[in-house]
Structure 1
């Protein structure tokens, strides 16, 4: 009897695992694998080790003091000529240019017409072709590029870099842009989240207090934007908010303004479009929580002498905190990753981190930098979720 019970229990577990397996495989392939790939790409440093393996190995053995020994120059000259012949220097040149702006031209100029045998030593030959090869700082950059992993992109994404001695320092003020971009991204997402909460809370409250027949009909109107493309909705806001659009014309017609307002291609337009798109993501968690709160609680509070506002503040509002937290977290996480809406409705100073991720991915083909920015955004989002989970856990302990 016990053996049959164990077999039955084992069969149920296998059936449950078989039902869950497709979802787990889907998440692993299309969610976890891209994230892991992005994290790896943000520290990957394969250009020089792949194209010049002997030089990379020799540079990793070098102590980094003064110029490297002659064998390093010899292997570099040999693999430089081979890379020029095989046309494989582009990746190395691109990687070195991230740290030394003119390194691409120096590398290709040195490779062109490089003799098979040196005129003296390879150090003297290469230095004679370009004095850059006689600078220890150049070889320090080469040594960093020879490592299998690099902090270059992650440091650059937070406006930091490594100097010639290997110390982490701030970049020049005219190059320090990414910290400001991250602050702008989180600020804009926070503003949108607050406005969605202000607009969505009373809407969800009203929907939850109506009869199911009416609230279900109104909920369809809330969900209606989900059936329209974000690109179409964003383009519609461009038409509505432009200087000759219907909103400006209506404001002028009622006499509120004397001339058209600039409502598009600025921060105002981005806020309006993002709030319109993200508002349903706030309403749905709030509605699901409010729908489960019995009206008897409010009636009991008022029957005990509490005013309607006091009953709402001390009885109803605390029970909706899980919905508020879930809605705010959902809207904020979606907001920090927005790209299409700020790109179409905002101006140059309204672009968020996702715009620069797309820029490095599609235009400059600097995937390492794009992955680093995405990784920093992912880490910040995970930290936010951790803080939310801790706060929810503390509140549950207090309620318990």
Structure 2
């Protein structure tokens, strides 16, 4: 009887040789439906985070990259001029039809209040264009044909063929001129990209300085943070917690306050120099120059970024069993060999995580170099901020930011390929 009931139950869960659920649905279809529901529920849980990342991270970066090549000003403000310049040879000053079209475009731009953006855009490419264009736009309403001589007599800039070459070259919806400028290059009279004179090359120098200073800060934080993390990992818990509070204490203080404190410490009449003079180590007239230079920036940023190296190192070191070191010593290794050959390789994930954090954060730092860096301690982030806030050359700022982002991604890819260590943050 029992065998008959069992066989009947087995037959109830089969249909045409396929397994089915209690409600008669095919088992495979039911499993796929359950898996689909599970994925939908998981997606709904993470969708707020995805929306936040999309709005606050992906879209702004995409807008920045688009701004670095977007070039609508000239093509929207001078359409007649660009059409008339199609017959221009690109060498001499254009003929009357070009100036007639230019006058008509300027009249319309003056009425629509679009002269300002046009003047600013041209001034990025050639000095003096803003003033010459603004003055001519105000007087063009009273001008009558012929226009060519009136333009040429109003300002020397209209006598420069390079102005018309720029209008023709930049009269396209997309441009690479911001990237050309960001790499310390420029267009010559023939339209070729050439290097700027040495005294005008600033951006690539700042890029090199930024990466060099970030690498120096990474090394210093590693040298200082490794012993601290090692000590914390091997102390009893109550002492380790006390040290952890001391490591985290800077996070409870404003970044501006910490940077200002370093100004007090590092200046020539500050605490460090005054202490060295009082101890007789330095003469009063030979105080160290620790402020408004690269040295001050590295010192202040090393202190500020040190916790970002200590915390990943400590989280990895805490998981390394002490028995590994004892086993190495029992097999004949001395203390240094056991430490270098057994312990340090196990801390590589923490070193990688801390190094990536410190390097990437220091590359984009702005406040500390601005306050204590001076001329030789500035980084590329300060120049990006300058173009965003002062010169208002947002296209160049976007190009510099995009180049910085791509450089970081390339370095991270190279690190992952060469080192290949898993990055663990906790």
Structure number with greater Rg is 2
**Alignment partner, residue 353 of structure 1:** 380
- What does residue 71 of structure 2 align with? 45
Matches of 2:269 and 2:191, distance apart in 1: 56
Give the distance between the partners of 2:397 and 2:216, measured in 1 at CA. 25
The alpha carbon displacement at 1:366 in A equals 1.2
Instruction: Quote the offset at 1:174 in angstroms.
Output: 2.2
1:165-213 residue CA offsets vs partner (Å, 9 max, x unmatched): 2211001222111111111111111111110011011111111122333
| Alpha-carbon distance in 2 for matches of 1:161, 1:209 | 58
2:18 counterpart residue number: none
Q: Pick which of 355-364 and 130-139 moved more.
A: 130-139
With normalisation by structure 1, the TM-score equals: 0.91
Match of 1:167 among 189, 192, 195: 192
Q: Distance in 2 between matches of 1:185 and 1:205?
A: 30
Worse overlay, 221-230 or 102-111:
102-111
Q: Say whether 1:177 aligns with 2:194.
A: no
Q: Rate the CA distance shift 1:59–1:322 in 2: closer, same or farther, 3 A.
A: farther
Q: How far is 1:56 from its partner? A: 4.0
How far apart, CA to CA, are the structure 2 residues paired with 1:65 and 1:346? 45
- Equivalent of residue 114 in structure 1, options 124, 128, 140: 140
Count of aligned positions: 394
- In the alignment, which residue of structure 2 is the partner of 1:14? 40
Question: Taking structure 1 as reference, are residues 294 and 143 closer, same or farther at Cα in structure 2, changes over 3 Å only?
Answer: same
The equivalent of 2:119 in structure 1 is 93
Moved more, 315-324 or 298-307: 315-324
Deviations 1:247-293 (A, max 9, x none): 33333343333334333233222222111100001111111221221
- In the alignment, structure 1 residue 190 sits paired with structure 2 residue 215: yes
TM-score by length of 2: 0.85
- Contact 2:115–2:137 (CA<8 Å) still a contact in 1? no
- Alignment partner, residue 248 of structure 1: 273
Rounded to whole Å, the distance in 1 between the matches of 2:298 and 2:206 is: 16
CA distance in 2, matches of 1:303, 1:326: 31
- Is 1:236 matched with 2:261? yes
Comparing 126-135 and 163-172, the one that deviates more? 126-135
Q: 1:386/1:106 Cα in 2 relative to 1: closer, same or farther (>3 Å)?
A: same
Instruction: Report the counterpart of residue 223 of structure 1 in structure 2.
Output: 248
1:284 to 311, 334, 353: 311
Shift of 1:48: 1.2
Is 2:298 the counterpart of 1:275? no
- The answer on whether the counterparts of 1:161 and 1:170 sit within 8 Å (CA) in structure 2 is yes
Q: Structure 1: how far apart are the matches of 2:52 and 2:362? A: 25
When residues 113 and 245 of structure 1 are mapped into structure 2, their CA distance, relative to the original with a 3 A threshold, is: closer
Q: Does 2:399 align with 1:387?
A: no
**Residue of 203, 223, 232 corresponding to 2:228:** 203
Q: 1:174 to 1:72 in 2, by over 3 A?
A: same
Selected match of 1:368 from 372, 386, 395: 395
Offset at residue 234 of structure 1 (A): 0.5
2:322 matches 1:295: yes
Q: Deviations over 1:281-332 (max 9, x none)?
A: 1111111221221111111111000111011111111111221122112111
Contact 1:38–1:375, Cα closer than 8 Å, also in 2: yes
The range that moved more, 246-255 or 348-357, is 246-255
Q: Secondary structure at the match of 1:114?
A: helix
Q: CA 1:111/1:320 → structure 2, altered by over 3 Å: closer, same or farther? A: same
Worse overlay, 234-243 or 59-68: 59-68
Of 100, 113, 124, the match for 1:74:
100
Q: CA RMSD in A?
A: 2.3
Unpaired runs of 5+ residues, structure 2, are 1-20, 22-26
Q: Secondary structure at the match of 1:174?
A: helix
Is contact 2:292–2:376 with CA below 8 Å preserved after alignment? no
Q: Is the 8 A contact 2:124 2:393 kept in 1?
A: no
- In the TM superposition, what whole-angstrom CA distance separates every residue of 1:108-149 from its partner, at most 9, and x where no partner exists? 3433433677544x5455445556546543221001221111
